[in-house]
């Protein structure tokens, strides 16, 4: 039996690259490497459902998604508001930002498991369904990169 506090990540959903221009980068992946097609969408998170470094935050991010074998290649372009994606761009330029991993629902219970392990969310977004959400977790010093937990019923 698995203890309730045990974090169990079993598969990779996506690898995310932060970029300055999703369309340009998607074109380069398609033309040079045959990766695509990319689905492009803009996600706006209102202050009532978003946070950055524990503070309420409103932000808009443009994403591009393409299947790459069993995982998705995710391109992320911060558009408006304060995000850790924008901070990454300013400090490091474009590059690999995080690994997205399905995690259990409900979202708040999963976040609490991580907090009990001493790992805080850097940025999060709660969905309209209160059991669902995602968070970039502060794991860089632990494993060398940011892990994003994806708490969605479709992964259960």
Q: What is the CATH number of the domain that holds 80?
A: 3.10.180.10
Say what the pLDDT of residue 109 is: 94
Predicted TM-score (pTM) of this structure:
0.93
Encode pLDDT of 2-56 as tens digits.
556 788 888 999 999 999 999 999 999 999 999 999 999 999 999 999 999 999 9
The answer to whether residue 125 is domain-embedded is yes
Report the domain count for the chain.
1
Average pLDDT over residues 61-81: 97
On average, the pLDDT of the chain sits at: 94
15 is written with which tokens?
């690898």
Domain limits at 68?
14-155
Please state, in angstroms and rounded to a whole number, the distance separating the CA atoms of residues 116 and 102: 19
The answer to whether residue 88 is domain-embedded is yes
Peptide bond into 106 cis (omega under 30): yes
Three-class secondary structure of residue 14 per DSSP: strand
DSSP class per residue in 46-113? -TTTEEETTEE--EEEEEEEEEETTEEEEEEEEEES--HHHHHHHHH-SEEEEEEEE-PSSHHHHHHH
Say what the pLDDT of residue 101 is: 97
The answer to whether residue 27 is domain-embedded is yes
The answer to whether residue 61 is domain-embedded is yes
The answer to whether residue 25 is domain-embedded is yes
Neighbours of 70 (CB within 10 A): 8
Average pLDDT over residues 68-76: 96
């Amino acid at each position: 039996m698995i203890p309730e506090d045990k974090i169990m990540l079993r598969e990779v959903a996506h690898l995310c690259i932060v970029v300055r221009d999703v369309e340009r980068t998607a074109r380069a992946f398609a033309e040079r490497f045959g990766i695509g097609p990319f689905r492009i969408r803009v996600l706006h998170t209102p202050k009532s459902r978003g946070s950055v470094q524990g503070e309420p935050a409103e932000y808009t991010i443009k994403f591009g998604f393409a299947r790459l074998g069993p995982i998705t290649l995710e391109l992320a372009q911060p558009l408006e508001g304060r995000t850790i994606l924008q901070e990454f761009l300013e400090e490091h330029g474009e590059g690999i930002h995080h690994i997205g991993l399905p995690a259990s629902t409900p979202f708040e219970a999963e976040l609490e498991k991580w907090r009990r392990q001493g790992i805080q969310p850097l940025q999060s977004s709660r969905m309209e369904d209160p059991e669902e959400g995602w968070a970039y977790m502060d794991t860089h010093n632990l494993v060398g990169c940011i892990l994003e937990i994806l708490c969605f019923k479709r992964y259960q």
